[in-house]
Amino acid sequence: MAFISESTGQSVAANTETLVYDGAANGGVPNATGGVLIGLFASNIGSLTANVDFYKRVGASSTASDNIYIIRNAPVPVGSTLEVVSAKIVLNHTDKIYINTDQANTIQATASLLENS
C-alpha cells in the first residue's frame, strides 16, 4: 500500500459549484481506493471579500441536499488565504470535494491529499 501525494489548484467562478477533487477519477492515480485530505485552501486574489463553501458528497450523490459541509459561508478577505482543513479528512474512492463562492474570479482553491494506490 503506497500513498501518492496529489495537489490541485484552480480558479472558481461565482455562484457555480466547482469540482475540486473527484475520487472516482482517482486524481490521476490508477486504482486508487480512497485517500486522506491533508490540506484545503481558498486564496483571495481579487479585490472583494468572498464567502466560500467547501463540501463533499459521498458516493454517487449528485444533489445539493447530499452536501456534507467542511466549511460554510466563510469570508476570505482580499489578499488572504483561508486554511479550511486543520485535521485530516478520510475520503472514499467515490467522494467528491466541491467549492462555491459568491465572487467571480476571486478565489483559487487548492486541495492536497494522499491517495491509496
Which domain covers residue 22, as residue numbers?
3-116
What are 51's three cell numbers? 464567502
Split into its structural domains, the chain has a count of 1
First to last CA, the chain: 6
Domain of residue 28, CATH code = 2.60.120.340
What is the arithmetic mean of pLDDT over 57-77?
A: 85
Per-residue confidence (pLDDT) for residue 1, from 0 to 100: 43
The answer to whether the CB of 107 falls within 8 A of the CB of 101 is yes
Q: What is the DSSP code (8-state) at residue 94?
A: T
**Rounded percentage of the chain residues whose pLDDT exceeds 70:** 82
The answer to whether the CB of 71 falls within 8 A of the CB of 84 is yes
Top-confidence residue, 12 or 60: 12
- Which residues, including other chains, have CB under 8 Å from residue 4's CB and lie 6 or more apart? 29, 114, 115, 117
